[in-house]
Amino acid sequence: MEVMKAANEHEAAGNHVLHLEVGEPGAGAPQAVLDAAHAALDSSALGYTEALGLPELRRAISAHYLKNYQRDVAMERIVVTTGSSGGFMLALLAAFDSGQRIGIGVPYYPAYRNMMIALGLEVVTIETGPESRFQPTPELLERAGHLDGLLICSPANPTGTMLRGSEFDAVVQYCDRHGIRVLSDEIYHGITYGEAAETALRYSANAVVLNGFSKFFCMTGWRLGWMVVPDELSGAVERLAQNLYISAPNISQRAAIAAFECEDELNANVAVYAENRRILLEELPKAGLKDLAPADGAFYIYASVSHLTNDSSDFCRKLLKETGVAITPGIDFDAERGNAYVRISFAGKTVETKETASRLKSWLA
Ligand SMILES: Cc1ncc(COP(=O)(O)O)c(C=O)c1O
């Protein structure tokens, strides 16, 4: 957000800025979603909904699991939330007591840690690196000491890496054996460049899944997400939702029902990310950025800049000032090693991605 502010100021001063700092899709919601929102405005008083969400939307999400993951997820286990961010608050509150120890793999999406601290949970950081594709492993968990919970994200932000089949299974099985509740952030599902992402529901009935409409569905500002919760947590989650926010936005819920019918349009957006990714993976090494995390999914490349700087914030500031390219310093995602990394988002237009590659190449030359 600080980088975005600096980038906007640089732009307001008359400079042309290429925004590769943002973590949101360049495209807006699909047309059928917009049409459904207009229809909802015309036909409904848009009052509160049930705290768990509109039954029609929960049914559509249940059908999404059957179609895309071949999993039968009863709609009673599905909770509609105010973005996956809202889901995280509910999940952390329902599943843990203050003082409990929750593991997160580093680097991580910074809000996880901030939410946990705000709720009085103890954050246990688990350093991951290229040898485990920046994802936790049972060995790393073993070294972390006692854990009550583990938050995983696949595909991940900032690295884009995925926990694949047997690796995912091993981590979740380890957690089940040790009574560690898994929270699985699946917000980047649908945006992958090889194998499709698996859901933690495949490996454990105890996992809490967090997902939403912000990334694949291109509905960031509609503030809508969902969780899949084990039966024993659903009562607590329902009461928390009733008390904390009553219901997720009614209009967004009505519109989102249509989102599941828009796969062609949404997959066309993913094809744009795939082309942007291809360009960057080809061009960044020519600019000397050769050490890149495997960008399995999401729309980020996490690149080492250790040969160029020991201060990634300063590096990003200079890059913005001298070339107009805005990217995010790794220090946001990893307090210890992040000065050696930057995150480059490729969720924008292909023409901008090409221009970025060309500016980076001449700047770093
Ligand atoms: C990994 C990850 N999880 C969760 C979120 C929150 O998304 P939302 O609250 O819009 O669903 C983000 C947003 O960038 C993210 O990158």
What pLDDT, in 10s, does the model give residues 63-74? Answer: 999 999 999 999
Tell me the two tokens of residue 276.
Answer: 């942007």
Whether residue 162 sits in one domain with residue 48: yes
Tell me the β-bridge partners of 181.
149
DSSP-derived pairing of the beta strands 328-329 and 325-326: unpaired
pLDDT tens across 32-49, in order?
999 999 999 999 999 999
Tell me the two tokens of residue 343.
Answer: 């995150």
Confidence of residue 138 (pLDDT cuts 50, 70, 90): very high
Q: Which residues contact 208 (CB under 8 A, 6 or more apart)?
A: 91, 95, 181, 182, 183, 184, 227, 228, 229, 230, 233
What is the mean pLDDT of the segment spanning 297-317? Answer: 97
| 126 Cα to the center of ligand 1, angstroms | 20
- Signed CA dihedral, 209, 233, 115, 104: sign only: negative
Listed residues 200, 229, 260: the one ending a domain: 260
Whether residue 341 sits in one domain with residue 320: yes
In this prediction, residue 47 carries a pLDDT of: 96
Percentage of the chain modeled with pLDDT above 90: 96
Whether residue 243 sits in one domain with residue 208: yes
This prediction has a pTM of 0.96
Whether residue 269 sits in one domain with residue 256: no
Q: Is the pLDDT of residue 311 over 80?
A: yes
CATH number of the domain where residue 332 is located: 3.90.1150.10
Whether residue 149 sits in one domain with residue 20: no
Using alpha carbons only, how large is the chain's radius of gyration in Å? 20
Listed residues 260, 290, 305: the one ending a domain: 260
| 355 Cα to the center of ligand 1, angstroms | 27
In this prediction, residue 83 carries a pLDDT of: 98
Query: Is the CB of 214 within 6 Å of ligand 1?
Result: yes
- Nearest residue (by CA) to ligand 1, atom 14, is 23
Start-end of H helices in the chain: 2-12, 31-43, 55-69, 83-95, 110-118, 138-143, 165-177, 231-244, 250-257, 263-283, 312-323, 350-364
CA-223 nearest atom, ligand 1 = 10
Q: Which of 106, 109, 227 has the most ligand 1 atoms within 8 A of CB, as the residue to mutate?
A: 109
CATH number of the domain where residue 81 is located: 3.40.640.10
Listed residues 207, 241, 260: the one ending a domain: 260
Whether residue 83 sits in one domain with residue 16: no
Confidence of residue 3 (pLDDT cuts 50, 70, 90): confident
Residues 221-234: b if buried by 16+ CB within 10 A, e if exposed = ebbbbbbbbbeebb
Whether residue 349 sits in one domain with residue 250: no
In this prediction, residue 171 carries a pLDDT of: 98
Whether residue 196 sits in one domain with residue 208: yes
Total domain count, the chain = 2
Nearest C-alpha neighbor of 336 from the set 173, 90, 125, 161: 125
Whether residue 315 sits in one domain with residue 214: no
Whether residue 55 sits in one domain with residue 6: no
Whether residue 211 sits in one domain with residue 272: no
Structural domain boundaries, residue 359: 2-29+263-364
Whether residue 137 sits in one domain with residue 276: no
